[in-house]
Amino acid sequence: MVEADVAQSNLDPDQKAVLDTVIEELIDEVSLGLCFEIHRSCKVGSLFLSGFDDTAASDTEYAIVDRPGVDVLGQVPSKKNYECVCPNCQRHLAASRFAPHLEKCMGMGRNSSRIASRRIANNQKHGSEESGQEDENDNDWNYAPESKRVRRMKKEKSTNSPRNRRLAKLRNGGSSHDAAAVAGETSESLETAPNYERMTLEERKALLLTSCGVISEHTKRMCTRTGKCVQHSDEQRRQVRQLLLRQSRAHDLEDIHIDIDTFDDAESQSFRESLQWEMSSNSSPADSTSTNNSLPGVPLLPPSTTASSHSSNPVGLAVPASHKRSSNKPASSLSKNKKHKASAGKHNVSSSGSSAGSGSSNKDQQGQNLYDFS
Amino acid sequence: MDYSRVQFMLGRSAMFCLLKQACSTNRSEIADAIFYVNYSLQERKLKDAQMRATINQKLVETGERERLKELLRARLIECGWRDQLKAYCKEIVQQKGLEHITVDDLVSEITPRGRSLVPDEVKKELLQRIRTFLAQQSNM
């Protein structure tokens, strides 16, 4: 009996002890998991924060709901009818109808500003005393166009200035001397008034420096493209520059010491080339002598010869200045050339009764240049 | 002296029986008896280890061990064991300082406490479950 009892109790506690150890292992594992969790929250710093304790509960609470017909938060999606209460008539309205309703009910909305402006306008009509002041204000507002008008009048005055008149005379005289081909067009070109004619020398220069400037035969307008314009050749450009600058020189002769030095070297180069070309074309001795004698500042002569030709200079005013210039600058030959032509033109006009040979030679030189212009 | 009986009487009770008998006999016999008990204890430990290994193997292979662990965790949370232990953890952390605490500290402090705090009902339930599991396994 004892043996059986012992055997019974022995087998049972034996197995029980083994099973106990197994259970203890399980418990240790669970508590180890807890240890890790606590340690992590220690290091993260959330151990002593309230609300972090029930992680399991919060997980279920904020879990993403994945069921059909329900949004992520587990709520049934429903179209909410937003209703607004009109502050004027206390009616309930759907939100989409609220703005139109307000427009009618309170006079607010898009049309309201127009209504308001109309109302203000009516009020101002009633207040007649204020209207006078407002007229003055209106004058203020109209100031800009009026000033424009004044400016325009000034311009017209300036076009009637003696200088321009002289220019016109010069041009008319020139055309009378020139070939008949240009004669018909001159008056037209004056009437259509290409505005480059009213420009001063400075303005012309500025314009010619920035743009191509070739004047078309049909429209009498300058080409406004850049200096590298493909439509016109360098030859045309050069002629136009010569023409325009000489023309302005014609009526700027009194103050001749202006700003030729400021002209571009590149351009002067081209002018010099053209000059040489002209020289070679005028190679016949009779012609050259006649020009040398009749014209004051002949371009490429050495200073001594020019000095000798001073005596026969009909327009002696311009020469000393030009001569001064010619001694210094490389571009001076250009300036001299231009001055020479300008003075030649003047010579044509002022002393029309001068020798026929010189007149004809001038014409030969100028006809080519003037052809494009007038 | 019938030593064959001793084989059936292991543990302390067996030792007491043996010592009672030995007191009535020679000293040399006492030494023999002690040697034999030691030997049988070692044998038993081996047996236990083998048994535990086989049981664990079965539990792991069938996945029963994981299920048991989940059950245990749920039961422990239910009975408040987890909260108690957590409060205790906080005490320890405050004692040692938040920066200086290590996992080893926590484990060495918490494991004995955790074992002692587990309610008997939970242990009984687990035991019952393992037994039924083993019975099923032996029947198969």
Greatest Cα pair distance in chain B: 64
**ipTM here:** 0.75
Neighbours of A333 (CB within 10 A): 18
More confidently predicted of A321 and A194 = A194
Contacts A–B by Cβ distance under 8 A? 92
Residue A360 lies in a domain: yes
**Domain of A208, in residue numbers:** 163-373
The whole-number average pLDDT for the span A183-210 is 60
**pTM, rounded to two decimals:** 0.34
Phi (first) and psi of residue B14, to 5 degrees: -65, -40
Question: Does A8 map to a domain?
Answer: no
In this predicted structure, the answer to whether residue B111 has a pLDDT above a threshold of 70 is yes
Residues paired with A94 in a beta bridge: A83
**Is the model more confident about A83 or about A192?**
A83
Nearest to B134 by CA among B43, B19, B56: B56
Contact A345, A159 (CB under 8 A): no
Residue A194: pLDDT band with limits 50, 70, 90: low
Whether residue B57 is contained in a domain is answered as yes
Overall number of domains in chain A: 1
Q: Is B139 on the interface with A (CB under 8 A)?
A: no
**Residue B25 located in a structural domain:** yes
Split at pLDDT 50, 70, 90, the class of A350 is very low
What pLDDT digit, counting tens, does each position of B11-47 carry?
566 666 666 666 666 667 777 777 887 888 888 888 8
The most confident of A3-17, A69-83, A163-177, A341-355, by mean pLDDT: A69-83
Q: Which residues pair with A92 in a beta bridge?
A: A85
Q: The tokens 């405050």 sit on which residue?
A: B94
Is B90 or A197 the better-scoring residue by pLDDT? B90
Q: Could you give the number of structural domains in chain B?
A: 1
What is the model's pLDDT at position A184?
Answer: 42
Inside any domain, residue B24: yes
On whether any CB of chain A is under 8 Å from the CB of B56, the answer is yes
Q: Which pLDDT does position B74 carry in this prediction?
A: 92
**Backbone phi, psi, residue A225, to 5°:** -75, 180
- Contact (CB<8Å) A10/B111: no
More confident residue, A261 or A233: A233
Assess whether pLDDT exceeds 80 at residue B79.
Answer: yes
Q: pLDDT confidence of A253, banded at 50, 70, 90?
A: low
Choose between A143 and B120: higher pLDDT.
B120
Query: Considering only CA atoms, which of A208, A213, A228 is closest in space to residue A268?
Result: A208
Is A89 contained in some domain? no
Beta strand A83-85 with A92-94 is antiparallel
Residue A104 counted as domain residue: no
User: Does some domain include residue A313?
Assistant: yes
**A5-21: pLDDT as tens digits:** 333 334 466 778 888 88
Query: What are the distances in angstroms from CA A281 to CA A274, A278, A289, A300, A337?
Result: 11, 5, 14, 14, 15
For residue A6, list chain B residues with Cβ-Cβ distance below 8 A.
Answer: 8-9
Residue B25 belongs to what domain range?
1-62
> What contacts 24+ positions apart, CB below 8 Å, involve B70-75?
B71/B125, B71/B126, B71/B129, B72/A26, B72/A27, B72/A30, B72/B122, B72/B126, B73/A30, B73/A33, B75/B122, B75/B125
Would you say residue A27 lies in a domain?
A: no
CA angle B44, B48, B54 (to 5 degrees): 145
Contact between chains at B118 and A27 (C-beta distance less than 8 A): yes
| Helix locations, chain A, DSSP H | 2-44, 55-61, 98-105, 110-126, 129-141, 143-159, 162-177, 180-192, 201-210, 234-251, 265-281, 285-294, 303-308, 319-328, 332-350, 356-373
Facing B9 at nearest CB: one of A6, A24, A42:
A6
Considering only CB atoms, which residues of chain A are within 8 Å of chain B?
Answer: 3, 6-7, 10, 13-24, 26-36, 38-39, 42, 45, 47-48, 53, 56
Residue A40 in domain: no
